Amino acid sequence: MKYYSLLFIAFFIILLSCNSGSSELSNTTATEETKDAAALSNLEKEHQLDMAAYADSVNAGLVEDTFKGSARRESKGKIGDAEVIINYGSPGVRGRVIWNGLVSYDQIWVSGSHWATAISFSDAVTIADQHVPAGMYGFFTIPGREKWTLVLNEVYDQHLADDYEQSRDILRFETDPIALEDTVQRLTYEVVSSEGQNSGIIAMSWDKIRLELPVSVD
């Protein structure tokens, strides 16, 4: 009987030891996973920054565009007292037919890639004689052979144009595309202000097309 009691105690001690080791291993694994996740997040952020710089280098002709994805980029500028920030995906031409090829004519387009292009205004602005309150908006376009329609929609967080609803447009502005002599390899947005004035433009350039959206601040 005494022998069995000692055997049970020994088994119980071994079981506690295993559970403790398992708990320590679990905690160690969780800590390592947290560190791995943080490291991956930092790598993703660095990758995004690298891709933005990569897109600029491609447009400047410094490197050949071999990246098949779309760089995520952000353009900032001030028009009057209003700060304008544009967040967008920047696909590349890479030898493809863009207009009425990759991007169809007469269909709503996110004016970038994947997620809709988002434009934010820190102050109220006027676009095409229409008042636009401060805030963030989705920027869409409807490309055409002769004319383009530029659209601000109140919903900026949209994937492609799957959830786009025309009833939620803030404004529509029709304009002529500007033909460029040189190809802009990676889609690019700029905020350009007129010196000493409360007016400027938001410009989008890609392939051999440039579009300009006039913006003014009261």
Look at residues 172, 138, 140, 139 and name the one whose alpha carbon lies nearest to residue 155. 138
Confidence of residue 13 (pLDDT cuts 50, 70, 90): very low
Cβ neighbour number for residue 163 with a 10 Å cutoff? 13
Q: What is the 3-state secondary structure (H, E, C) of 77-90?
A: EEECCEEEEEEEEE
Work out the average pLDDT over 78-97.
Answer: 95
Average pLDDT, the chain: 82
Q: Are 183 and 208 in contact (CB under 8 A)?
A: yes
Look up residue 194 and give its two tokens.
Answer: 């007129």
Q: What is the mean pLDDT of residues 88-101?
A: 95
Burial class (CB in 10 A: 0-12, 13-18, 19+), 146: exposed
Question: Can you tell me the mean pLDDT for 53-82?
Answer: 88
Q: Give the whole-number percent of the chain exceeding pLDDT 90.
A: 59
Residue 88 predicted with pLDDT over 60: yes
Range scoring the smallest mean pLDDT among 24-33, 85-94, 107-116: 24-33
Poorest-confidence range of 50-54, 86-90, 98-102, 206-210?
Answer: 50-54
Res 65: pLDDT: 87
Condensed to tens digits (0 to 9), the pLDDT of residues 68-86 reads 888 889 999 999 999 999 9
Using one digit for the tens of pLDDT, what is the confidence trace for 131-160? 999 999 999 999 999 999 999 999 999 888
Give the percent of the chain with pLDDT over 70: 77
pLDDT given at position 5: 46
Greater confidence (159 vs 185) lies with: 185
User: What does the pLDDT look like over 20-36, one tens digit per residue?
Assistant: 444 443 343 445 445 44
